């Protein structure tokens, strides 16, 4: 199996086989991200992908889950994706789950009929980056997506039956827009009702535009207390039936579970840390590179 450049997958896909289907990210302008700064977006030759799939079959006698990389595989043509998924289904009949990264705008650029075709070919789930619901934050991070786009894209994915995990970043509004960021993000989550969500605390990545903004004093990092209060606001105001993947390594209070069932416990854990953790009052959040 051939991999080009840096390879990423969600921490929730730690046991999945990775099939590199596209290279890089078709957007690749987000100020906080350096994941794909080593390559330009490209859809791999389908025969090369097929060879990797066949090699994976030789290497792994039993495959439960498969994750397609790189950044936003859904940007590829529908007929191409259907062929890849057909190949995966015939090669790994025992697999229970096939997932990929997809921008919310990638859903919008296809029709619901196309999304249903991709779903029927074997796609189970997509991971999409919401990052924030605040229009000011989305503009500042150069996401090339509006809140309205996010809502429309999620609605199309739901209509097609594609399960979606939305990720977002505590602290992405910085010290200045912490409140606006979490209020707008929570509102969009309540509107879109993703089946799963994955929040993570902001970590400034080396070599990113955001790192330069921090160094120039243009972006002021949030305090730990602000990040904790953002999560508390989310817990208190989110009212959807979703799975909460709050156990990313940068999160100040790692916790996960079905949200509505665990909401009281999650809040109790947060309140205990807010009250008892002296580091919560530090001026700068302490997180680490991905």
Which pLDDT tens digit goes with each residue over 132-189?
A: 999 999 999 999 999 999 999 999 999 999 999 999 999 999 999 999 999 999 999 9
What torsion do the CA atoms of 112, 116, 118, 120 make, to the nearest 10 degrees?
A: 180
Handedness of CA 117, 241, 166, 5 (dihedral sign): negative
Per-residue model confidence as pLDDT tens digits over 192-212: 999 999 999 999 999 999 999
Neighbour count for residue 29 (Cβ, 10 Å): 11
Q: Phi then psi for 18, rounded to 5 degrees?
A: -100, 125
Q: How many CB atoms lie within 10 A of CB 217?
A: 7
Task: Choose the weakest-confidence range: 66-75, 103-112, 167-176, 279-288.
Answer: 279-288
Does the pLDDT value for residue 288 go beyond 90? no
- Give the C-alpha distances (Å, rounded to integers) separating 104 from 75, 167, 252: 10, 11, 27
pLDDT at 120: 98
Mean pLDDT estimate for the chain:
94
Q: Is the pLDDT of residue 290 over 60?
A: no
The pTM score is: 0.93
Domains of the chain: 11-278 (3.20.20.70)
- Residue 253, sorted as left (phi over 0), alpha (psi -120 to 50) or beta, turns out to be beta
């Amino acid at each position: 199996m051939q991999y080009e450049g840096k390879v990423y997958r969600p921490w929730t896909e730690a046991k999945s086989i990775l099939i590199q289907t596209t290279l890089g990210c078709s957007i690749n302008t987000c100020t906080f991200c350096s994941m794909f700064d080593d390559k330009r977006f490209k859809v791999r030759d389908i025969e090369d992908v097929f060879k990797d799939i066949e090699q994976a079959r030789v290497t792994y006698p039993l495959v439960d889950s498969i994750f397609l990389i790189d950044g936003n595989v859904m940007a590829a043509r529908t007929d191409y994706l259907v062929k890849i998924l057909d190949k995966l289904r015939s090669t790994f009949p025992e697999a229970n789950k096939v997932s990929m990264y997809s921008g919310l705008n990638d859903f919008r650029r296809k029709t619901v009929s196309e999304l249903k075709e991709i779903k029927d070919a074997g796609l189970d789930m997509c991971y999409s980056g919401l990052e924030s619901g605040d229009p000011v934050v989305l503009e500042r991070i150069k996401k090339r997506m509006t809140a309205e786009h996010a809502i429309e894209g999620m609605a199309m994915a739901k209509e097609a039956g594609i399960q979606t995990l939305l990720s977002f970043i505590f602290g992405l509004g910085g010290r200045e827009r912490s409140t606006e960021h979490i209020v707008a993000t929570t509102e969009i989550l309540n509107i879109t009702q993703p089946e799963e969500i994955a929040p993570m605390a902001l970590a400034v990545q080396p070599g990113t535009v955001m790192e330069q903004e921090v160094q120039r004093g243009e972006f002021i990092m949030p305090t730990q207390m602000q990040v904790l209060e953002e999560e508390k606001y989310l817990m208190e105001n989110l009212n959807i039936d979703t799975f909460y993947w709050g156990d990313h390594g940068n999160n100040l209070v790692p916790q996960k579970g079905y949200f509505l069932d665990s909401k009281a416990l999650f809040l109790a854990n947060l309140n205990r840390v807010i009250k008892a953790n002296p580091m919560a009052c530090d001026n700068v959040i302490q997180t680490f590179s991905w």
